[in-house]
Structure 1
Amino acid sequence: MKLPIKLDRPIAFFDLETTGLDPKRDRIVELAIILLSPDKDDFQRVRRFNPGIPIHPEASAVHGIFDADLVKEAPFESRSRNLFRLLDPCDLGGFNVRRFDLPMLIAEFARCGMQFDHRNRRVIDVQTIYHRKEPRDLSAAARFYLDVQHTEAHTAMSDIQTTVAVLDAQLTRYPDLSPDMDSLHSYCDRSPLRIGFDEWFRREGEDVIFVKGKHKGQTLQSVALGKSDYLYWMQNKIEDLHPEAKKEIEKALALTTADT
């Protein structure tokens, strides 16, 4: 595999599959590398790792790797030094590598006691080139769906008129898009809106559950019982905390005080 790029050092294109999306909590389960050198043969390798933690079902649904597939694989740490030596002299490349793969790799090396410094190397992100050269904005949608130039971009009425026209064209182009509000809402709701109270919590019956932060997935009441200082920090430091969220925190802390 050759690229029309004049290389002055090796470049390692890499892709990761992981247990999830959080570099602090999740782990690498598969790593593939294509290494191109100025004066050596190309190098390709793929390795799987036992992450030591369960793979999120949503992640398995994407990459098709399950916990049982990794039982006999070695942990990342066992191969980390060889991998570090392989990548250390390299520039880096990938797709969405700046936002996902590289932060995940840096975090994984850090857990092994190694500092993988990206600042002394060039990073080529193919997704960045794609998005800059083929923008996914309203003007691009107007060209694609309406075959017109959106000449008054970023004037409010023109933008929203074009938006409505694009939706009309989408409903015509894609027969699987059902023209009813519930179906369209469901189609667009790939990631829930986290605004106001929902930015921090969700409700499950009578429980209030953290949806982000270091207590993500835990009930508000359990955090109030064991880590109440975190809730006091939220009250005092998060200036735009939603009133409903404040009320629930106050209620949880009050119940904790009453129990003692």
Structure 2
Amino acid sequence: MEHQLQLKKPLAFFDLETTGIQVNKDRIVEISIAKANIDGTVDIKTRRVNPGIPIPLEASLVHGIYDADVAEEPNFKQVAKSLAGFLDGCDLAGFNSNRFDVPMLVEEFFRAEVDFDMKNRKLVDAQRIFHMMEPRNLTAAYRFYCDKELVGAHGAEADVLATLEVLNAQVKRYAETALKDAEGKEYFPIQNDVNKLHELSASNSIDFANRMVYNKDKVAVFNFGKHIGRPVLEVLKSDPSYYDWMMKGDFPMDTKRKLTEIKLQGFQR
């Protein structure tokens, strides 16, 4: 493979598969690097890593790597020096890399006690360029689905009528479009049925500020701060002052109301 990028130093495109998305807690299970060299050539390096912690099923279903697949692989500390050597003198690039891959990689190097200097590296995130040049806003959606320019954008009436047209066009366009689930079975996510569209649009958030969410077991957990990932009821019982702190804090009324509902329901059982 070759590239046409004009480079003054190698640009290493990399992607991580991990046990999760919490940089401070989760670990890398696979790293792939495509190093674009100044002469137009590309060197590719991919290797799996034993994270030293179990890979959650929901993560394995996304990237297809299970505990058994990495049981005999080295841990990150064992490969850190050679990896740092491969990336020596390189700028870094990826897709959503500035928000996730770069922080995760740097954290793993810190844990491995390998010096990985970031001061002189340029960071290029293709996702930011994508979102800048192909915005995913109502104006762009109206142009894409309805082939029209949105006149009067950000005026309430123009926006709401455009949204109606967009949803109508989406239902029509994707009625026969199938996707595959985690088991490879085909399904049709977009149906002309508000209940189905609601299920598709719904998130696992409990409150609108996303401070509390349901985990894979449908248990309410905190989604921020020192108790992130811990069940809300468990925290409220072990640290009662946390409830008072949130109720007095600068949180939306909706968050406080949902927190109180969870507390009352849980403590009445």
Shorter-chain TM-score category?
Answer: 0.7 to 0.9
Gapped runs of 5+ residues in structure 2?
176-187
Counterparts of 1:36 and 1:27 in 2: how far apart (Å)?
26
Q: Letter of the aligned partner of 1:152 in structure 2?
A: G
Report the CA distance between 1:201 and its aligned residue.
Answer: 5.6
CA deviation vs aligned residue, 1:178-200 (integer Å, no higher than 9, x gap): 222210011122x3345358623
State the shift of 1:71 in Å.
Answer: 0.6
- What does the per-residue CA deviation read over 1:83-136, in whole Å, with 9 as the maximum and x for residues that have no partner? 123223110111221122111111111212245343421112222222222222
Q: 1:41-86 CA deviation, whole Å, 9 max, x = no partner?
A: 5321111001011212222111111111111011111111221232
Residue 212 of structure 2: aligned partner: 200
Contact 1:18 1:26 (8 Å CA) reproduced: yes
AA at the equivalent of 1:134: E
Residue identity (%): 40
Between the aligned partners of 1:148 and 1:80, the Cα distance in structure 2 is: 52
1:200-219 CA deviation, whole Å, 9 max, x = no partner? 365999x8543443323433
Which of the numbers 194, 200, 218 marks the counterpart of 1:187? 200
Moved more, 207-216 or 131-140: 207-216
Aligned residues: 252
Q: Compared with structure 1, are the counterparts of its residues 152 and 115 closer, same or farther at alpha carbon in structure 2 (3 Å cutoff)?
A: farther
How has the CA–CA distance of structure 1 residues 118 and 232 changed in structure 2, closer, same or farther, with 3 Å as cutoff?
farther
Equivalent residue number for residue 64 of structure 1: 64
- CA 1:39 to 1:198, structure 2 compared with 1: closer, same or farther past 3 Å? closer
The one-letter code sitting in structure 2 at the alignment partner of 1:61 is: L
Deviation of the 1:164 alpha carbon: 0.4
- Are the aligned partners of 1:49 and 1:75 in contact in 2 as well (CA < 8 Å)? yes
Per the alignment, residue 86 of structure 2 pairs with 86
TM-score by length of 2: 0.80
1:47 aligned residue:
47
Counterparts in 2 of 1:197 and 1:65: CA distance versus 1, 3 Å: same
1:78-227 to 2 correspondences below 5 Å: 78-114=78-114, 116-175=116-175, 176=188, 177-189=190-202, 191-195=203-207, 199-200=211-212, 209-224=221-236, 226-227=238-239
Q: CA deviation at 1:17?
A: 0.6
